[in-house]
A and B are shown apart, each in its own frame.
Chain A
Amino acid sequence: MDLNFTEADQKFRAEVVDFIKTNLPAEIADKVKHGKHLSKDDHMRWQQALGRKGWLVASWPKKHGGPGWTATQKYIFDNVCAEMNCPPIIPFGTKMVGPVIYTFGNEEQKQRFLPGIRESTVWWCQGYSEPGSGSDLASLKTRAVREGDHYIVNGSKTWTTLGQYAEWIFCLVRTDVNAKQQEGISFLLIDMKSPGVEVQPIIMADGGHEVNSVFFTDVKVPVENLIGKEGEGWTYAKFLLANERSGIAAVPQSKRGVESLKRIAASEQQDGKPLIQDGAFRDKIADLEIQLQALEFTELRILSSEAAGGAPGPEVSFLKIRGSEIQQRITELAVEAVGYYANPYLPGLLWQGSNEEPVGPAYATTAAPRYFNVRKTSIYGGSNEIQKNIIAKMVLGL
Chain B
Amino acid sequence: MDLSLNDDQNMLKDSVERFVREQYAFETRRKNSATATGWLESNWAKFAELGWLGIPFSEDAGGLGWGTVETAIVMEQFGRGLVLEPYLATVLLGGEAIARGGSAAQQQAILPALIEGKKQLALAYAEKQSRYNLHDVTTSAKKEGAGYVLSGHKGVVFNGPSADHIIVAARTSGGQRDAKGVTLFLVDKNAKGLTRRDYPTQDASRASELTLDKVSVGADAVVGKVDDGFALLEEVIDRATVAVCAEAVGCMDALNAATHEYIKTRKQFGVPIGKFQVLQHRMVDMFTHAQESRSMVLMATLKIDDADAAVRRKAASAVKVQIGKSGRFVGQGAVQLHGGMGVTDELNVSHYFKRLTMIDSIFGNQQFHLTRYGQIMAEAA
User: Footprint of B on A, CB under 8 Å?
Assistant: 129, 132-136, 139, 158-159, 202-205, 207, 211, 268-272, 275, 280-281, 332, 335-336, 339-346, 359-360, 368-369, 371-373, 375-376, 378-380, 383-385, 388
Shortest distance in angstroms between A259's beta carbon and chain B's nearest beta carbon?
Answer: 21
A368 to B197, CA, bound (A): 20
Q: Please name 4 further chain A to chain B contacts, defined as beta carbons within 8 Å, in addition to the given A372-B343, A385-B276, sorted by A numbering.
A: A134-B340, A136-B269, A136-B270, A272-B129
Q: A136-B268, A136-B269, A375-B343 are in contact. Are A205 and B353 (CB under 8 A)?
A: yes
Shortest distance in angstroms between B257's beta carbon and chain A's nearest beta carbon?
Answer: 19
Q: Are B202 and A368 closer than 8 Å at their CB atoms? A: yes
User: Footprint of A on B, CB under 8 Å?
Assistant: 126, 128-129, 131-133, 136, 155-156, 176-177, 197, 199-203, 207, 209, 267-270, 273, 276, 278-279, 328, 332, 335-336, 339-340, 342-346, 350-351, 353-354, 357-358, 361-362, 365, 367, 370-371
A388 to B57, CA, bound (A): 54
B339: chain A residues at CB < 8 Å are 134-135, 379, 383
Q: Are B128 and A336 closer than 8 Å at their CB atoms? A: no
Smallest CB gap from A208: residue in B: B345
Q: Are B133 and A270 closer than 8 Å at their CB atoms? A: yes
A205: chain B residues at CB < 8 Å are 335, 343-345, 350-351, 353-354
Shortest distance in angstroms between B29's beta carbon and chain A's nearest beta carbon?
Answer: 15
Q: Are A336 and B367 closer than 8 Å at their CB atoms? A: yes
Q: Are A346 and B199 closer than 8 Å at their CB atoms? A: yes
Shortest beta-carbon contacts, A-B, top 7: A205-B350, A136-B268, A203-B345, A340-B156, A343-B201, A269-B129, A342-B361
Smallest CB gap from A332: residue in B: B328
B269: chain A residues at CB < 8 Å are 135-136, 139
B350: chain A residues at CB < 8 Å are 205, 372
A280 to B199, CA, bound (A): 32
B367: chain A residues at CB < 8 Å are 280-281, 336
Q: A205-B353, A271-B133, A280-B371 are in contact. Are A343 and B344 (CB under 8 A)?
A: no
A369: chain B residues at CB < 8 Å are 202
Q: Are B343 and A272 closer than 8 Å at their CB atoms? A: no
User: Tally of A-B residue pairs with Cβ under 8 A?
Assistant: 137
A132: chain B residues at CB < 8 Å are 267
Q: Are B268 and A135 closer than 8 Å at their CB atoms? A: yes
Q: Are B346 and A342 closer than 8 Å at their CB atoms? A: no
Shortest distance in angstroms between B275's beta carbon and chain A's nearest beta carbon?
Answer: 13
A224 to B3, CA, bound (A): 73
Q: Are B358 and A375 closer than 8 Å at their CB atoms? A: no
A269: chain B residues at CB < 8 Å are 129, 131
B203: chain A residues at CB < 8 Å are 343
B278: chain A residues at CB < 8 Å are 385, 388
Q: A205-B353, A335-B357 are in contact. Are A340 and B344 (CB under 8 A)?
A: no
A268 to B361, CA, bound (A): 14
A340 to B128, CA, bound (A): 9
Interchain Cβ contacts under 8 Å between A and B, 27 examples: A134-B339, A135-B339, A136-B268, A205-B351, A340-B126, A340-B155, A340-B361, A341-B128, A342-B202, A342-B361, A343-B156, A343-B358, A345-B199, A345-B200, A345-B202, A359-B209, A368-B354, A368-B358, A372-B202, A372-B354, A376-B340, A379-B335, A379-B340, A379-B343, A383-B339, A384-B336, A385-B279
